[in-house]
C-alpha cells in the first residue's frame, strides 16, 4: 500500500519549485525551474536506492532491479508544466511511480521483473514541439538529432538547453526495454467529477493535430489606408479562429483551440504584416479529425485567395487516436475492484506519454478526478484521497505486470 502522507508531501515539495502566486506551477521544459525540479527528483530516486540514468533527450529513469533480467514494467509521466500550469498535471504520475517503488522497498518486496519510473522531457509541448517529445523520442518516433534541433518561440534550441541545465545524458532513449507501461494522471477534464467521482480506466487517447499557420499580409497605415486596400492577416487570423470554433459545432467530438497568436509588428496604427497562430484540433476518431483539418485548410485557401493573404502551414504535432491494451485496462479495473474503488472506462482528451509508450508495449492509464475539470490552470486540483486511491491502483497493476 502507498504511504499517502509521503506521496502528498513529495508532491508538495515538487510543487514549490516554480510555484506561482496564484497557487499553480510554472516549470516550462528545460528552464531553470525544470532543472531544479529534475535535481530534486534525481535526489529522491537516489535516496530510495534506485539506479538513476539520464538519456540523450533528458528523460530521467529510476530503476528498481527485479529478480530476473529482461524487459521492465515502466511507470512514468512528466514534471514540465505549461505557462499557467497547476501542481498535479504530470508531477503526480512521476511522484506516484516513485511512491510505488518506495512502498515495495518498504515492504521488502522484490518484483520478478525490473520496475522503473521515468520522468519524460517536454511532455506539455508548451515550450518545444511536439508535445510528448521525450516519450516520442524514447519510442523511436523522432530522432535525438531532430529533437535537439527543435527551438522555442525565442529561437532557443532544445539541445542547447539540455546541455545548459546538464541533462543531456549518456543513455540512448529506449535503452530500457519495456514489458508494460502504466501511467497515473489527473483527468484534466470534468467527466469523472460529473459522474460522481471515482477513478478512470483509460481506454485510449484521442487524435491530436497541432498546426502552426503563418499569415502574411501587407503592413500599412491604419489612418490613411482605405479599408478596401488593406491586406490584414490579423483579421484573417480572427476569421480562422472563429471558423475552427464553428467546426466544433458541426463535427461530432471535435475540439479546437488557438492558443498562440503573435502579431507583427504589433503597433496600434499599423495594419499587421504577419500573424503566427496555432491550432490545436482533436477528435476521439481519426476520420472526423481529418475532416476538420481538411475543412480548415479549404477555408484558409479561400480566405487567402479572397483577402490577398499568404497562408503557410507547419505541423507542430500529429498523433493518431491511440487505443490502449485491453488486458492492461482490465488489470487496472481489477486493481480498483480489489481496493473497493469505483472505476469507469473513459477516453483521454489530453495526450500523455502513455500514447507514445503504447508503440512499444502493452499500455494503460489510471485517471483521478480533476475538481471543476480544470487543468493548465493554477486552480487545478485533486483531493488527497483520490491521489492515494490512484497510486494504490497503480501499485497493484504494476506489481501484477511485474510478476506475471
Nearer to its own copies, 52 or 285 (CB): 285
Q: Which does 220 bind (CB under 5 to 8 A by kind): its own copies, ligand URP, none?
A: its own copies
Question: Dihedral, CA atoms, 354, 359, 361, 362, nearest 10 degrees?
Answer: 60
From the number of C-beta atoms within 10 Å of its C-beta (0-12, 13-18, 19+), residue 171 rates as middle
Nearer to ligand URP, 89 or 150 (CB): 89
78 is in an annotated binding site: yes
Binding residues (CB under 6 A) for ligand URP: these are 89, 123-125, 131, 188, 221, 223, 269, 350-352
Rounded to a whole number of angstroms, the minimum distance from the CB of residue 358 to its own copies is 17
Q: Which does 11 bind (CB under 5 to 8 A by kind): its own copies, ligand URP, none?
A: none
Rounded to a whole number of angstroms, the minimum distance from the CB of residue 29 to its own copies is 11
129 is in an annotated binding site: no
Q: Which does 373 bind (CB under 5 to 8 A by kind): ligand URP, its own copies, none?
A: its own copies
Rounded to a whole number of angstroms, the minimum distance from the CB of residue 100 to ligand URP is 20
Q: Are strands 51-54 and 60-64 parallel, antiparallel or unpaired?
A: antiparallel
Nearer to its own copies, 290 or 347 (CB): 347
d(CA 197, CA 112): 34
Q: Which does 123 bind (CB under 5 to 8 A by kind): ligand URP, its own copies, none?
A: ligand URP
Q: Which does 237 bind (CB under 5 to 8 A by kind): ligand URP, its own copies, none?
A: its own copies
Question: Dihedral, CA atoms, 64, 67, 69, 75, nearest 10 degrees?
Answer: -30
Q: Do the Cβ atoms of 2 and 399 come closer than 8 Å?
A: no
The grid coordinates listed for 189 are 477534464
Rounded to a whole number of angstroms, the minimum distance from the CB of residue 368 to ligand URP is 13
Nearer to its own copies, 145 or 228 (CB): 228
Nearer to its own copies, 31 or 220 (CB): 220
Rounded to a whole number of angstroms, the minimum distance from the CB of residue 78 to ligand URP is 8
Q: Do the Cβ atoms of 388 and 2 come closer than 8 Å?
A: yes
Q: Which does 168 bind (CB under 5 to 8 A by kind): its own copies, ligand URP, none?
A: none
Nearer to ligand URP, 89 or 273 (CB): 89
d(CA 276, CA 254): 23
124 is in an annotated binding site: yes
Q: At a CB cut-off of 8 Å and minimum separation 6, what does 108 contact?
A: none
Rounded to a whole number of angstroms, the minimum distance from the CB of residue 167 to its own copies is 21
Strands (E), 157-265: 178-186, 199-205, 207-216, 220-221, 255-257, 261-264
Phi, psi of 135 (to 5 degrees): -75, -30
376 is in an annotated binding site: yes
Nearer to ligand URP, 44 or 122 (CB): 122
Calculate Rg over the CA atoms of the chain.
22
d(CA 117, CA 107): 18
From the number of C-beta atoms within 10 Å of its C-beta (0-12, 13-18, 19+), residue 11 rates as buried
d(CA 44, CA 97): 12
The annotated binding site for Zn(2+) is made up of: 78, 89, 124, 185, 376
The annotated binding site is made up of: 78, 89, 124, 185, 376
Amino acid at each position: 500500500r502507498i504511504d499517502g502522507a509521503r506521496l502528498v508531501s513529495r508532491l508538495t515539495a515538487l510543487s514549490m519549485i516554480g510555484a506561482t502566486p496564484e497557487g499553480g506551477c510554472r516549470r516550462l521544459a528545460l528552464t531553470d525551474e525544470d532543472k531544479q525540479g529534475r535535481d530534486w527528483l534525481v535526489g529522491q530516486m537516489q535516496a530510495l536506492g534506485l539506479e538513476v540514468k539520464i538519456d540523450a533527450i533528458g528523460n530521467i529513469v529510476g530503476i528498481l532491479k527485479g529478480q530476473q533480467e529482461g524487459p521492465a514494467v515502466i511507470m512514468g509521466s512528466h514534471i514540465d508544466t505549461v505557462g499557467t500550469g497547476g501542481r498535479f498535471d504530470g508531477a503526480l504520475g512521476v511522484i506516484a511511480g516513485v511512491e510505488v517503488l518506495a512502498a515495495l522497498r518498504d515492504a521488502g518486496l522484490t518484483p520478478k521483473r525490473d520496475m522503473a519510473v521515468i520522468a519524460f522531457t517536454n511532455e506539455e509541448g508548451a515550450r518545444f514541439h511536439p508535445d510528448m517529445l521525450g516519450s516520442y523520442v524514447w519510442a523511436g518516433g523522432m530522432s535525438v538529432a531532430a529533437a535537439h534541433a527543435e527551438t522555442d518561440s525565442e529561437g532557443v534550441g532544445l539541445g542547447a538547453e539540455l546541455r545548459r541545465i546538464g541533462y543531456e545524458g549518456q543513455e540512448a532513449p529506449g535503452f530500457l526495454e519495456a514489458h508494460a507501461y502504466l501511467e497515473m494522471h489527473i483527468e484534466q477534464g470534468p467527466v469523472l467529477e460529473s459522474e460522481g467521482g471515482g477513478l478512470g480506466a483509460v481506454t485510449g487517447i484521442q487524435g491530436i493535430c497541432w498546426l502552426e499557420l503563418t499569415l502574411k499580409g501587407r503592413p500599412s497605415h491604419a489612418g490613411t489606408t482605405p479599408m478596401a486596400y488593406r491586406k490584414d492577416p490579423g483579421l484573417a487570423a480572427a476569421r480562422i479562429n472563429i471558423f475552427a470554433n464553428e467546426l466544433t459545432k458541426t463535427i461530432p467530438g471535435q475540439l479546437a483551440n488557438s492558443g498562440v497568436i503573435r502579431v507583427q509588428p504589433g503597433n496600434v496604427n499599423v495594419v499587421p504584416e504577419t500573424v503566427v497562430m496555432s491550432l490545436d484540433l482533436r477528435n476521439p476518431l481519426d476520420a472526423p479529425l481529418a475532416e476538420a483539418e481538411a475543412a480548415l485548410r479549404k477555408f484558409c485557401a479561400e480566405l487567402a485567395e479572397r483577402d490577398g493573404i499568404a497562408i503557410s502551414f507547419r505541423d507542430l504535432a500529429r498523433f493518431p487516436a491511440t487505443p490502449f491494451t485491453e488486458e492492461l485496462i482490465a488489470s487496472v479495473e481489477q486493481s480498483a475492484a480489489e481496493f473497493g474503488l469505483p472505476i469507469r472506462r473513459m477516453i483521454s482528451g489530453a495526450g500523455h506519454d502513455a500514447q507514445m509508450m503504447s508503440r512499444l508495449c502493452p499500455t494503460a492509464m489510471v485517471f483521478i478526478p480533476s475538481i471543476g475539470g480544470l487543468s493548465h490552470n493554477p486552480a487545478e486540483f485533486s483531493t488527497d484521497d483520490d491521489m492515494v486511491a490512484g497510486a494504490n491502483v497503480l501499485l497493484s497493476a504494476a506489481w501484477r505486470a511485474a510478476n506475471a
